[in-house]
């Protein structure tokens, strides 16, 4: 019921930054309620079969955007991991839409100072201060724990693109690597807000585009090339038929 309340609340916000999965409806059965959600491709399946090189950066930005939106609306997810992210690539193959699912462990908070008690999440994807399933009296901030998990997810997405180096020319961490390291800080209070990280991330993207000498991103350029190739194909085919 808590998950349903959260989904109903989030479904009120029809804005691009809301990456919570849409709630289609609720079916009442004798055994309980069934939540109806749209079908989406699991993130792991998408990365194995589609174009992570083209979409990884977009997915990273959308993840930051989506979790920042949750925090701004006083919700901590508490179980961020690849299994709880799905992709809608049917509308736009080169700019897939990311959605966050499974709010069964999520909690409503006032701010990052709100503390909860007890282990919550999935092993390997939870912040150090959350402890383990044997630590029933551990206290921590759900918002700060989410920030660590988000940093872990950013690194996971980057690992799907082995040819893109997050180090600068001198072998030091570039801006993306520095952002992840800040989110993965073992000291929860040293982790920046996701809104701050997103702002820095987007500023870095704009600077990189300027350095490349263009105002369009990779997905725009690819779609233009596809359109041009299709035009050439149709033209040559018509000439051949004549």
11-54 per-position pLDDT tens digit: 999 999 999 999 988 888 888 888 888 999 999 998 887 666 66
Interacting residues of 199 by C-beta distance below 8 A, sequence separation 6+: none
Model-level pTM?
0.80
More confident residue, 85 or 137: 85
Banded pLDDT at 1 (limits 50, 70, 90): low
Task: Please give the share of the chain, as a percent, with pLDDT higher than 90.
Answer: 48
Is residue 78 within 8 Å of 105, Cβ to Cβ?
yes
> For the chain, what is the domain count?
1
Average pLDDT, the chain: 81
pLDDT tens string 114-142: 999 989 999 899 999 998 877 767 899 99
Banded pLDDT at 239 (limits 50, 70, 90): very low
The DSSP code for 129 is G
d(CA 197, CA 61): 10
Residues spanned by the domain of 193: 2-241
CATH number for the domain harbouring residue 216: 1.10.510.10
Give the model's pLDDT for residue 108. 95
Cα angle 85-1-111, degrees, rounded to a multiple of 5: 65
With 60 as the cut, is the pLDDT of residue 227 above it? no
Which contiguous run of DSSP H or E holds residue 179?
helix 175-183
pLDDT tens string 188-225: 999 999 999 998 888 877 776 776 665 554 444 444 44
Of 84, 56, 83, 58, nearest to 70 (Cα)? 84
Neighbours of 122 (CB within 10 A): 15
Is residue 11 within 8 Å of 124, Cβ to Cβ?
no
Give the model's pLDDT for residue 152. 94
């Amino acid at each position: 019921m808590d998950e349903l309340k959260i989904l109903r609340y989030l479904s009120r916000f029809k804005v691009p930054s809301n990456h919570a999965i849409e709630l289609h409806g609720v079916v009442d059965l004798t055994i309980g309620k069934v939540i109806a959600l749209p079908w989406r491709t699991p993130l792991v399946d998408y990365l194995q079969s589609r174009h992570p090189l083209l979409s990884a950066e977009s997915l990273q930005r959308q993840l930051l955007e989506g979790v920042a939106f949750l925090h701004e609306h006083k919700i901590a997810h508490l179980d961020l991991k690849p299994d709880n992210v799905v992709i809608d690539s049917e509308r736009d193959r080169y700019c897939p839409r990311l959605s966050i699912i499974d709010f069964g462990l999520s909690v409503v908070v006032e701010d990052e100072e709100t503390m909860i008690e007890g282990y919550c999440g999935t092993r390997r994807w939870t912040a150090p201060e959350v402890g383990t399933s044997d630590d029933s009296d551990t206290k921590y901030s759900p918002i700060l724990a989410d920030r660590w998990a988000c940093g872990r997810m950013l690194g996971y997405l980057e690992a799907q693109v082995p040819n893109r180096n997050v180090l600068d020319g001198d072998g030091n961490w570039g801006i993306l690597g520095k952002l992840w390291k800040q989110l993965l800080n073992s000291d929860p209070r040293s982790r920046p807000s996701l809104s701050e990280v997103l702002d820095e991330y987007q500023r870095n993207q704009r600077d990189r585009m300027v350095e490349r000498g263009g105002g369009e991103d990779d997905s725009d350029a690819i779609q233009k090339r596809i359109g041009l190739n299709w035009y050439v194909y149709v033209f040559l085919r018509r000439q051949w038929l004549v």
